């Protein structure tokens, strides 16, 4: 399917200009025609209707004339052409309705000659519109059809032979006038398009001529510059050959030095790989768990770290490092990490601190943490050494418990000896008192009870010992 041709906005603007340019004559003709029509029908139509119709016809004609004058005073751009066209078509449509209303409001019912006169006036108005408004076909249709259709309908409505014949002829005339106006519209468009194409062709040829002149000037200048460049190139050719020879010798020397440097770098890389392998073996086989802490996460760890806490490598990397420790010790450990980061990688002096932790299975752990500030991937980090001291802590707790029991036993033994000495003194005094009194003495029984109590206290001290 061929693409739809683009509509040149200049064409519409020129059609609108011609439409308004021819409107002067049409406006004056409408005023004269309305006055003549009113005078001819004054005796055969109601005067009030005639006066009202003539006022409307003259008013719309003057309004069109005023808009036309304003259009010619104003510099209308191509983008405003459609708005001016629609305004003119609207005024023509209103004018056509006014003239068409004459076939109803001022139709001379009793005078056939006056009816024929009105028929000829309306037909003449449409005939004048063919040449005036056909430059925009829609404008002619908006004027002609509202002008003639009411009187055509009126003649057919009367119904007798002569009126029906006149109505038919008028309808045929309307269709023929529309066809003629359409052909004039097409001819006008074709003529305007040809004119614009000629103007475009002349403009394009002028631009091409200017381009050709510019290209010729550029070519002449380039030829002159090329000749100068060839002369300069010839002068520099010999100099360039000597420079190439010197540069070739320099490149060969640089290649030899580069080969030597590559061999030395290869040896350095091999030594570095060997050193890295040693350090890797050292870290992987270390007795302590070794971790790199950065942003509260474990960025690197050895196998001992997985064994210590019971997590896989992915689990250790995903969990925050502090989550492995008891809640009571997290703040303390976080403070130690911050202190290590504040010291910086150059200050390697560090201390060990004991913290409570948890195995993955929930068993409690005691770990001894040593922190060293380092740089990991060009960012501050902390190298953490974690030693499992759970067994050591258990032994220390058992030793502390044994020492506590030993201290309690010594204290109990001393108390028992002192209390036994006190009871012995009391028992001796009671025995002396019983020797001084008779068995029927009122205090004798009480002293005997005290003596039995002393024996019970003596048994208690023996139990303590």
Residues 6+ apart with CB under 8 A from 361: 310
Instruction: Give percent of the chain with pLDDT exceeding 70.
Output: 91
Q: How far apart are CA 386 and CA 281, in angstroms?
A: 18
pLDDT of residue 274: 64
pTM value > 0.85? no
| Model confidence pLDDT, tens digit, residues 421-462 | 887 888 788 787 778 787 778 778 887 788 788 878 887 777
pLDDT of residue 1: 41
Q: How far apart are CA 384 and CA 316, in angstroms?
A: 14
pLDDT > 70? residue 346: no
Instruction: Give percent of the chain with pLDDT exceeding 90.
Output: 0
Q: Which burial class, exposed, middle or buried, applies to 169 when counting CB atoms under 10 A from its CB (0-12, 13-18, 19+)?
A: middle
What angle (nearest 5°) sits at the alpha carbon of residue 26, between those of residues 21 and 31? 140
Sorting pLDDT into bands at 50, 70 and 90, what band is 3?
very low
| Model confidence pLDDT, tens digit, residues 255-283 | 888 888 888 887 777 766 666 666 666 67
Compute how many other C-beta atoms are within 10 angstroms of the C-beta atom of residue 72.
14
User: Could you tell me if 74 and 2 are in contact, meaning their C-beta atoms sit under 8 angstroms apart?
Assistant: no
User: Could you tell me if 49 and 169 are in contact, meaning their C-beta atoms sit under 8 angstroms apart?
Assistant: no
Q: Which of 381, 302, 281, 309 is nearest to 341 (CA)?
A: 381
């Amino acid at each position: 399917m061929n693409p739809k041709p683009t509509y040149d906005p200049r064409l519409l603007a020129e059609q609108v200009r011609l439409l308004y340019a021819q409107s002067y004559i049409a406006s004056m003709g409408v005023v004269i025609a309305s006055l003549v029509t009113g005078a001819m029908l004054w005796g055969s139509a109601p005067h009030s209707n005639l006066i009202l119709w003539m006022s409307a016809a003259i008013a719309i004609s003057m309004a069109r004339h005023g808009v036309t004058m304003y259009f010619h005073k104003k510099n209308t751009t191509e983008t405003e052409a459609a708005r001016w066209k629609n305004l003119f078509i609207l005024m023509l449509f209103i004018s056509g309705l006014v003239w068409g209303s004459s076939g109803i409001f001022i139709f001379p019912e009793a005078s056939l000659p006056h009816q024929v006169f009105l028929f000829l006036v309306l037909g003449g108005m449409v005939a004048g519109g063919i040449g005036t408004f056909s430059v925009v076909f829609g404008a002619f249709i908006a004027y002609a059809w509202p002008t003639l259709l009411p009187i055509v309908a009126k003649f057919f409505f009367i119904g007798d032979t002569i009126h029906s014949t006149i109505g038919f002829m008028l309808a045929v005339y309307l269709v023929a006038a529309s066809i003629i106006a359409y052909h004039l519209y097409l001819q006008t468009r074709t003529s305007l398009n040809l004119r614009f194409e000629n103007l475009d062709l002349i403009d394009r040829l002028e631009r091409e001529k200017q381009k050709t002149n510019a290209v010729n000037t550029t070519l002449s200048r380039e030829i002159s510059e090329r000749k100068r460049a060839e002369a300069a190139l010839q002068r520099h050719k010999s100099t360039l050959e000597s420079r190439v020879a010197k540069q070739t010798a320099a490149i060969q020397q640089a290649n030899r030095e580069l080969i030597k440097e590559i061999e030395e770098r290869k040896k350095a890389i091999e030594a570095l790989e060997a050193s890295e392998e040693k350090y890797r073996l050292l870290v992987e086989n270390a007795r302590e768990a070794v971790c790199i802490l950065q942003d509260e996460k474990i960025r690197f760890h050895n196998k001992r770290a997985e064994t210590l806490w019971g997590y896989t490598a992915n689990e250790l990397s995903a969990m925050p490092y502090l989550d492995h420790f008891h809640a009571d010790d997290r703040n303390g450990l976080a403070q130690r990490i911050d202190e290590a980061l504040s010291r910086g990688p150059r200050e390697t002096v560090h201390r060990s601190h004991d913290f409570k932790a948890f195995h993955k299975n929930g068993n409690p752990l005691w770990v001894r943490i040593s922190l060293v500030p380092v740089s990991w991937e060009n960012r501050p980090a902390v190298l953490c050494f974690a030693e499992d001291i759970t067994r050591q802590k258990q032994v220390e707790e058992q030793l502390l418990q044994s020492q506590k029991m030993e201290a309690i036993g010594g204290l109990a033994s001393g108390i028992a000896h002192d209390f036994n000495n006190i009871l012995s003194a009391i028992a001796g005094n009671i025995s002396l008192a019983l020797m001084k009194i008779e068995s029927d003495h009122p205090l004798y029984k009480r002293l005997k009870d005290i003596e039995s109590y002393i024996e019970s206290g003596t048994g208690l001290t023996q139990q303590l010992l």
